Structure 1
Amino acid sequence: MTESQQAFNTRAIHAGQEFDPTTGAVVPPIYQTSTFVQDGIGGFRGGYEYARSGNPTRSSLETLIASLESGTHGIAFSSGLAAEDAILRSTLASGDHIVLGNDVYGGTHRLINRLHVPTGVELTTVEMSDSDAVRAALRPTTKVLWVETPSNPLMKITDIAELVEIGHAAGVTVVVDNTFASPALQQPLLLGADVVVHSTTKYIGGHSDVLGGAVVTSDDELAEKVRFVQFAAGAVLAPFEAWLTVRGIKTLAVRMERHSSNALAVAQHFAEHPAIERVYYPGLESHPGHRIAATQMSGFGGMLSVSLRDGEGAARRLAESTKLFQLAESLGGVESLIGYPSEMTHASVRGTPLEVAPNIVRISVGIEDVADLIADLESALPRV
């Protein structure tokens, strides 16, 4: 059986993780080195010269994440935004146009709007679930269609295959941010996308102890451009962070199963709660993207958001009143987190079309006992 024929769970543990040939160590070592001895000038052992251009520990992660996303090239970066910046630099130039969803991570919008737009890139935000609106937003100068599904923080679902068809008909590169779903639940390249980006800080690392990002593609030419940006700009993932990320990936599938089942239970429990106006979770049949999510995802993930009937004050009090759900930015760790997007993850988009309503609270449901998680939220809501 070839590696490509192996199931996801098997590849998550074994792809790029051959045992150490010298000692037989089951877990490959961390190559904590900045440079590599050469066998004569230009005689690189295993192709390694200097840690910015390549490191065996980082290479093992890049092989692993490419396998999990069913791609041929994985490129690892020091953060999710560094990964996003690399693909943007590789696909956009002055005068080019990018179409972005109107409900994406605030840092993505900030990166494009504050760093790339001033260089001459043009940006349009649009409702990605409206295919006609997406078509109307495309121009002859459009080079990138940027999809985030599920979206952050309103959990909007985009039909990846449909947008790939629209984008490719216009000659546009389709990029999918797969951070919320992870490759355990959704593989956009198999749906036709050109590029997948990740904040590996989140579900891929899974333990809130590492910062990183990745780009995955099967486009050889584009991968070469991204690797050049990685090398030339230098935002590479360090060896220890790469090793931690690999360690997290080995339990990705089982973690995502628990995240998904816990989040669904929380969403169902609070869907009719008198203090809650709406629960945003694609696993609920009432969610407008539920059917599409059920088709293109194998689970609905661990992220949900709620809007509070009594407005901003109620949302703030909820975010500050839980115990197991710790108030913190980020998501996707084994522990549950709660956040207030308007002033935390999405503060940079206030006053833009991406502004998050002040009565929204975002919840990252961990893998603790779900009864304890529900009780924690219940105890906080009466104070609302």
Structure 2
Amino acid sequence: MNVLDPLFETPLCNAADLGRPIPDSPHAVSVCLPTWADNIGYEEKTPRVIEQLNNGYPRFVFHHLCQQLFAECHTKFAAADESCLVFPSVIAAERFAKFFAKQTGQKPRLCDFGQHGVQAACFPTQFADTAKAGWQHLGEGISSRHAEACLVGRSAPDATEAKQILRQRIADAASAAVEDVFLFPSGMNAIFSVYRALEATFPDRKCVQFGFPYVDTLKIQKTCGTGVHFYPHGESADLDQLAEVLADEPISGIYTEFPSNPLLKSPDLARLAELARAHRCPLVVDDTVATFVNADVLSAADAVCSSLTKFFSGAGDVTAGSVVLNANGPFYNELKTALGQEDDLLWCEDALVLEENSRDFETRVRQINHNAEQLADHLLQHPRVTAVNYPKFQTPQRYSAFRKRDGGYGGLLSVDITDPANRAPRVFNALRVCKGPNLGTNYTLVCPYTILAHYGELDFAEDCGVSRYLLRVSVGLEPPEDLIARFDEALAVD
């Protein structure tokens, strides 16, 4: 474990760093957006910003290796007025085609690339934005390593053992059986897979989203099924309203995050589980922020979804996700049957990288816990900080009810700054830590979360309690005293 990561010693945070990959890897899953204006420029597709990007978070920015494969498929399969996206299997491409057809009324043409099971989807270019939304929400587009293997004709190494090790590592951390752990190419695809399983089990039912979730979870619920009852604040009054809905209407599933991203609020998971059991409704919990190390939510949930891209990997150079099933849950058999029929879409080379990255997962998370708590405690007392969103301060009793005896509060926090419209951009610009999307990395990473995730719906986000000026901080392995000094330096800027 290299505490003094070069990304802390020389963080990517200056104007000249715009567009550089974070980390310095051909398969990095983040990109430096060093100023507030750069983040807005990214959202508004300003050429000054977009032309500097060769990568980004893979569901939001097409990796340059993926773009090269798209271009090759376009040459082979597409008409002049068509565009191409590429998927890792026939079934993934067919699911994309179903999404696209539902949104546009037109079905893409699917073409076999002829290597590694890869399929190209060709569609009218006029619907490129819809296609991009499908790539983003469903989370099963081809990975950069998989694309590279197709481009250079590289054979697929055997990752059977690596995947078994990964499942066992997750099972041990989650106190589950290895046969109840399933791997996916991204955290969002893990959620989408559970969502599809429950939609098939309970057709024509709405689902419930309890608490303000990560953006694409809600997008899936709004676009891929019957509809969603959304309770953005996730408070006791919402539980009372939910109880009334459950008494009157069958529901396909209740989805919640523990704690939530970016507000770090924990739902009353015990009561949610009680309501779910009483009304025979599955409960799905995303524990990405807490991690298996810090919280035991499996006892309350029917399925626990995690983005392994984040703390589990730590390096920021691979995407993956997992689902862990509660063997004692009332919907265990239905979920296990459905997930057992899923294609294995986690590319073998990604699995090999993830296995190596995650060997010190527990050790890293415990150090990050310590560092984040030190920073959060300090910022809470800072006169230029109006709020620190962190599980220790936000709904602490709810979090503690499922916190493991030796668990911490995790590595994610978010902060509100005094005079935010004027000062939040200045503080962000002055911070000497890496700046870009993603979380759970071994190096501290900060972003203006609401700008990146909800730029087209800022009023909606603020109605849900998420300030447009919120700074989200994913704390890394750096010495906390140095990290505190860097935040103090930025907060002193007028």
Both structures adopt the same fold (TM-score exceeding 0.5): yes
Alignment correspondent of 1:86: 193
Alignment correspondent of 1:135: 243
2:336 corresponds to which of 214, 223, 234: 223
Q: Which amino acid aligns with 2:307?
A: S
C-alpha change, 1:351 and 1:225, in structure 2 (3 Å) is farther
Displacement of 1:241 in angstroms is 1.6
Instruction: Say whether 1:60 aligns with 2:174.
Output: no
Alignment correspondent of 2:308: 200
Aligned runs of 1:319-338 on 2, under 5 Å? Answer: 319-324=428-433, 326-338=434-446
Q: Which amino acid aligns with 1:66?
A: A
Structure 2: unaligned runs, 5 residues or longer: 1-114, 118-155
Alignment correspondent of 2:217: 108
Instruction: Say whether 1:296 aligns with 2:402.
Output: yes
Displacement of 1:116 in angstroms is 1.4
Counterpart Cα distance in 1 of 2:232 and 2:491: 34
Structure 1 stretch 59-68 or stretch 362-371: which is displaced more? 59-68
State the Cα RMSD in Å.
2.3
Q: Which amino acid aligns with 2:204?
A: G
Alignment correspondent of 1:362: 472
Contact 1:126 1:137 in 2 (8 A): no
Per-residue CA deviation, residues 274-321 of structure 1 (Å, 9 max, x unaligned), is 2111111122xxx24112222311210111111112123322222222
Count the aligned residue pairs.
323
1:151 corresponds to which of 260, 264, 267: 260
Displacement of 1:348 in angstroms is 5.9
Displacement of 1:140 in angstroms is 2.1
Displacement of 1:137 in angstroms is 4.2
Counterpart Cα distance in 2 of 1:122 and 1:108: 11
Q: Which amino acid aligns with 1:342?
A: T
| SS of match in other structure, 1:342 | helix
Contact 1:314 1:359 in 2 (8 A): no
Counterpart Cα distance in 2 of 1:136 and 1:181: 29
Structure 1: unaligned runs, 5 residues or longer: 1-32, 36-50
Q: Which amino acid aligns with 2:336?
A: A
Instruction: Say whether 1:178 aligns with 2:287.
Output: yes
Counterpart Cα distance in 2 of 1:137 and 1:310: 40
Q: Which amino acid aligns with 2:402?
A: Q
Indicate the percent of aligned positions where both proteins have the same amino acid.
Answer: 26
Alignment correspondent of 1:8: none
C-alpha change, 1:96 and 1:186, in structure 2 (3 Å) is same
Contact 1:305 1:361 in 2 (8 A): yes
| SS of match in other structure, 1:266 | helix
Counterpart Cα distance in 2 of 1:116 and 1:328: 29
Counterpart Cα distance in 2 of 1:344 and 1:212: 21
Displacement of 1:87 in angstroms is 0.4
TM-score, normalising length: structure 2: 0.61
Counterpart Cα distance in 2 of 1:223 and 1:350: 38
Alignment correspondent of 1:77: 184
Counterpart Cα distance in 1 of 2:353 and 2:296: 22
Counterpart Cα distance in 2 of 1:273 and 1:112: 39
C-alpha change, 1:88 and 1:357, in structure 2 (3 Å) is same
Q: Which amino acid aligns with 1:192?
A: A
Greater helix share, structure number: 2
Per-residue CA deviation, residues 106-126 of structure 1 (Å, 9 max, x unaligned), is 12112222x314xx3334334
| SS of match in other structure, 2:401 | helix
C-alpha change, 1:381 and 1:126, in structure 2 (3 Å) is closer
Alignment correspondent of 2:371: 262
Per-residue CA deviation, residues 2-32 of structure 1 (Å, 9 max, x unaligned), is xxxxxxxxxxxxxxxxxxxxxxxxxxxxxxx
C-alpha change, 1:247 and 1:160, in structure 2 (3 Å) is farther
Alignment correspondent of 2:269: 160
Counterpart Cα distance in 2 of 1:64 and 1:122: 34
Counterpart Cα distance in 2 of 1:288 and 1:342: 19
Per-residue CA deviation, residues 39-58 of structure 1 (Å, 9 max, x unaligned), is xxxxxxxxxxxx9xx94432
Alignment correspondent of 1:318: 427
